[in-house]
Every structure is written in C-alpha cells, then in structure tokens.
Amino acid sequence: MNEVSPIQAQGRMQQGAVLVDVREAHEYEEVHAQGAALMPLSEFEGNYGTLPRDAEIILVCRSGARSEKAGQFLLDNGYSNVTNLTGGTLAWVQDGLPTGETR
C-alpha cells in the first residue's frame, strides 16, 4: 500500500483524492483533517462501497494503524488506488495543516 505524508495528502486532495477518516465519531469530532469524510472502521465493511473507484482514496486515523487495516480491506475488495496517511491525524495537526475542529 502506498503511503503519503500529511503535506503530500493535502496536495493530492487538491487534485481530487478523497480523504477518509476511519476513527470513531467522537474522535473525529475532537479534531480531524479539513476535508476528511468520516467512515469509522467499525462501520467500514458496510459502507466502503460508497467510495469512488476512480479516485485515489487516502485513509487516515489517529496514528496510522486503523487506516492501514482499512486500506488493506479496500485492496482486498478491488480498489487499486489506496494510500495510507503516515502518522495519521496526529501528524496532520503537528504539521500545522487545517483542521475541522468541532469542539
């Protein structure tokens, strides 16, 4: 599976990549990468089919473990352009990139 830094991910989003946050809703509400769609890992298998197959899917969680699991699931189910955001939301915030904080 491909991996990108938060800064690379932000650039790819500007080119049409879809950023999917696989953390749980309460984590997402605390802080999330601006532009990230929420699809918790606990519901991922039931909802992944709504993700586009013609765009890069970049997955993010807190630190990278859950998003890697979700990415492998997508690859196993026919998606080919799947990327994991290295360091997760923690790295996104540390790099000073825009967030969608709701608290």
- Collapse the DSSP code of 41 into the 3-class scheme (helix H, G, I; strand E, B; otherwise coil) and give the result: helix
- The answer to whether position 103 is within a domain reads no
- The answer to whether position 102 is within a domain reads no
| Other C-beta atoms lying within 10 Å of the C-beta of residue 6 | 23
What per-residue confidence (pLDDT) applies to 102?
58
Q: Structural domain of residue 60, as residue ranges?
A: 2-94
- CATH classification at residue 46: 3.40.250.10
Mean pLDDT of 51-63: 97
- The answer to whether position 75 is within a domain reads yes
What per-residue confidence (pLDDT) applies to 103?
45
What per-residue confidence (pLDDT) applies to 32?
96
Q: Which of 17, 22, 59, 61 is catalytic?
A: 61
8: annotated active-site residue = no
- The answer to whether position 101 is within a domain reads no
Instruction: Give yes or no for a contact between 24 and 30, defined as CB atoms under 8 angstroms apart.
Output: no
Q: Which residues contact 59 (CB under 8 A, 6 or more apart)?
A: 19, 20, 22, 67, 68, 70, 71, 74, 82, 83, 84, 85
What per-residue confidence (pLDDT) applies to 64?
85
Q: What's the domain count of the chain?
A: 1
